[in-house]
């Protein structure tokens, strides 16, 4: 396939529907006994293929991103499937998202007729895709970290044939921990802070560039805060169960989740990102804003997607078990997934057929006209890699 050739493509929306036998409901809307996944099939006109690239992010929303639309223009068949938690991760259970991705892969093979499925783990979809593939190859997870269904060993999870990790981070729980504001010492009152750990306090004597001693203390305090929340979550669940309420839930707010020193000190995990910015804007504002990671959570969701010690969707740990060829692409100006995450994922991949590429100058989303050359380079890299494995159009 000529990587420079451009194709017109058609976007076909469709639904994947299956029964939900959960003991409790954690999504709202539609028929409650069913899971309905909103999906899109993007196909180049007049160009058949037995291979499809499947995207899924835990909270979806990427069906119109530059990458997912540039690939069908380059001649590839693409599915973007939204999980049941489209746009809202308050109560997200990673094991249920794995179930959702399995339904999509099964549908792509059995109904749509694709022989080869290549998972495309974009951003937070990277750890999800790795977790899915690990369990599809050899399922071991019998319950969520809270002890609930689903049992992944009892699900039909067809394994994919290839893996692409694109601007991916290592996991939701470790990314959150690296971004947590450890200066908050009272979860019920975010104004109570340790001033020497408050990155955004101009009176803090620790300013960028940060000393190794400060960073060591800071990183340890971030992990401690995650573990304090986890301990409270487990105690609360135990109390509820002790009261005869095994299905009862509690919702809570986590303040301060965009305080990674890397956003203010570009010498840390260096790349071409702009200092004082993160992928959501000004990190000082995002730190306390409504769209920060884990801002709103439930007890079970915290354990499944955010707990530093309990969450199962750990990218490097799952990547070690991969049995399929893997392509890893990092972006040199990424202000969400920094180079150490890309390298850790690549190093962890257990299959010998693995490649690592960095797109110089590319940001996280390839957003805007100035990013088009970098987007084309990334798509060309993907096209070459797929073609070398006979995973391109017929």
Locate all alpha helices (DSSP H) within 40-124, ordered by sequence: 66-73, 94-110
Both tokens of 212, joined, read: 């190794």
Instruction: State the pLDDT at residue 33.
Output: 78
Rounded to 5 degrees, φ, ψ at 284 are -65, -40
Does residue 393 or residue 331 have the better pLDDT?
331
Confidence of residue 1 (pLDDT cuts 50, 70, 90): low
Which among 126, 44, 35, 50 has a CA at the least distance from the CA of 82?
Answer: 35
Asked if 114 contacts 162 with a C-beta cutoff of 8 angstroms, the reply is no
Least confident of 22-26, 62-66, 104-108: 22-26
Q: What is the mean pLDDT of residues 59-68?
A: 93
Q: What is the pLDDT of residue 328?
A: 98
Mean pLDDT of 81-98: 96
Q: What is the DSSP letter of 304?
A: I
pLDDT at 27: 82
Which pLDDT score is estimated for 176? 98
What pLDDT, in 10s, does the model give residues 223-258? 999 999 999 999 999 999 999 999 999 999 999 999
Residue pLDDT, tens place only, 172-213: 999 999 999 999 999 999 999 999 999 999 999 999 999 999
Q: How far is CA 36 from CA 2, 17, 19, 149, 293, in A?
A: 37, 5, 9, 18, 24
Within 10 angstroms of residue 317's Cβ, the number of other Cβ atoms is 16
- Residue 145 — pLDDT band, cuts 50, 70, 90? very high
Tens of pLDDT along 149-161? Answer: 999 999 999 999 9
pLDDT surpassing 80 at residue 394: no
Q: Give the per-residue pLDDT at 23.
A: 79
Residues 233, 305: contact at Cβ < 8 Å? Answer: no
- Mean pLDDT, residues 369-380: 97
Place of tokens 């997870």: 141
pLDDT surpasses 60 at 13: yes
Question: Cα–Cα distance between 61 and 146 in angstroms, integer?
Answer: 27
Q: Is the pLDDT of residue 2 over 70?
A: no
Q: Give the per-residue pLDDT at 5.
A: 76
Residue 3 scores a pLDDT above 60:
no
Of residues 4 and 287, which shows the higher confidence score? 287
Determine the pLDDT at residue 201: 97
Among residues 161, 172, 148, which one has the least CA distance to residue 99? Answer: 148
* Higher per-residue pLDDT: 393 or 4: 393
Q: How far apart are CA 281 and CA 289, in angstroms?
A: 11
Distance of CA 63 to the CA centre of its chain: 15
For residue 4, what pLDDT is reported? 65
Whether pLDDT at 260 is above 90: yes
Q: Rg (Cα) of the chain, in Å, rounded?
A: 21
**Model confidence over 94-106: pLDDT tens digits?**
999 999 999 999 9
For the segment 274-310, what is each residue's pLDDT rounded down to a tens digit? 999 999 999 999 999 999 999 999 999 999 999 999 9
Q: Which CATH class is domain 9-171+312-388?
A: alpha beta
Mean pLDDT taken over the chain: 96
The strand order across the sheet containing 9-19 reads 9-19, 34-44, 77-81, 51-55, 116-122, 162-166, 326-331, 354-359
Q: How confident is the model at residue 30 (pLDDT cuts 50, 70, 90)?
A: low
pLDDT exceeds cutoff 80 at 28:
no
The confidence band for 31, taking pLDDT boundaries of 50, 70 and 90, is: low
Residue 143 and residue 146: Cα distance in Å, rounded?
A: 8
Q: Residue 29 — pLDDT band, cuts 50, 70, 90? A: low
Higher pLDDT, 26 or 359: 359
Q: Which residues make Cβ contacts (< 8 Å) with residue 345, sequence separation at least 6?
A: 126, 130, 165, 168, 170, 315, 316, 319, 328
Instruction: Write out the residue limits of the CATH 3.40.50.1820 domain(s) in the chain.
Output: 9-171+312-388
% residues pLDDT > 70 (the chain)? 98
Tell me the per-residue pLDDT of 34-49, one tens digit each, with 9 for 90 and over: 899 999 999 999 999 9
| Percentage of the chain lying above the pLDDT 90 cut | 92
- pLDDT-based confidence at residue 59 (cuts at 50, 70, 90): very high
Q: Is the pTM of this model over 0.95?
A: yes
């Amino acid at each position: 396939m000529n990587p420079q050739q451009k194709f017109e493509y058609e976007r076909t929306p469709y639904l994947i529907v299956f029964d939900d036998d959960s003991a409790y409901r954690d999504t709202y809307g539609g028929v409650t006994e069913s899971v309905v996944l909103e999906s899109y099939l993007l196909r180049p006109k007049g160009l058949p293929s037995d291979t499809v690239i499947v995207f899924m992010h835990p909270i979806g929303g990427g069906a119109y991103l530059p990458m997912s639309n540039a690939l069908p223009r380059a001649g590839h068949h693409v599915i973007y499937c939204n999980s049941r938690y489209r746009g809202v991760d308050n109560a997200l259970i990673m094991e249920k998202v794995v179930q959702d991705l399995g339904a999509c892969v099964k549908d792509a093979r059995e109904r749509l007729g694709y022989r080869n499925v290549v998972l495309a783990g974009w951003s937070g979809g990277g750890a999800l895709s790795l977790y899915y593939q690990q369990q599809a190859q050899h399922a071991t997870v019998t319950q969520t970290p809270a002890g609930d269904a689903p049992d992944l060993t009892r699900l039909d999870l067809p394994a994919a044939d290839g893996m692409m990790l694109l601007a991916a981070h290592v996991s939701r729980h470790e990314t959150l921990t690296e971004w947590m504001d450890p200066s908050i010492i009272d979860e019920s009152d975010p104004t109570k802070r340790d001033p020497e750990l408050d990155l955004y306090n101009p009176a803090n004597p620790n300013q960028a560039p940060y000393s190794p001693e400060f960073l060591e203390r800071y990183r340890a305090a971030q992990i401690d805060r995650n573990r304090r929340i986890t301990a409270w979550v487990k105690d609360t669940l135990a109390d509820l169960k002790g009261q005869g309420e095994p299905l009862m839930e509690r919702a809570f707010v986590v303040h301060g989740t965009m305080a990674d020193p890397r956003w203010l000190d570009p010498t840390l995990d260096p790349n071409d990102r702009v200092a004082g910015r993160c992928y959501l804007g000004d990190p000082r504002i995002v730190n306390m804003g409504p769209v920060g990671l884990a801002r709103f959570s439930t007890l079970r969701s915290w354990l499944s997607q955010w707990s530093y010690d309990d969450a199962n969707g750990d990218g490097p740990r799952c990547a070690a078990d991969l049995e399929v060829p893997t392509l890893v692409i990092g972006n040199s100006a990424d202000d969400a997934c920094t180079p150490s995450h890309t390298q850790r994922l690549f190093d962890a991949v257990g299959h010998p057929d693995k490649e690592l590429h960095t797109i110089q100058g590319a940001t996280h989303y390839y957003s805007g006209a100035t990013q088009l050359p970098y987007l084309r380079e990334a798509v060309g890299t993907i096209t070459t890699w797929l073609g070398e494995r006979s995973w391109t159009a017929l």
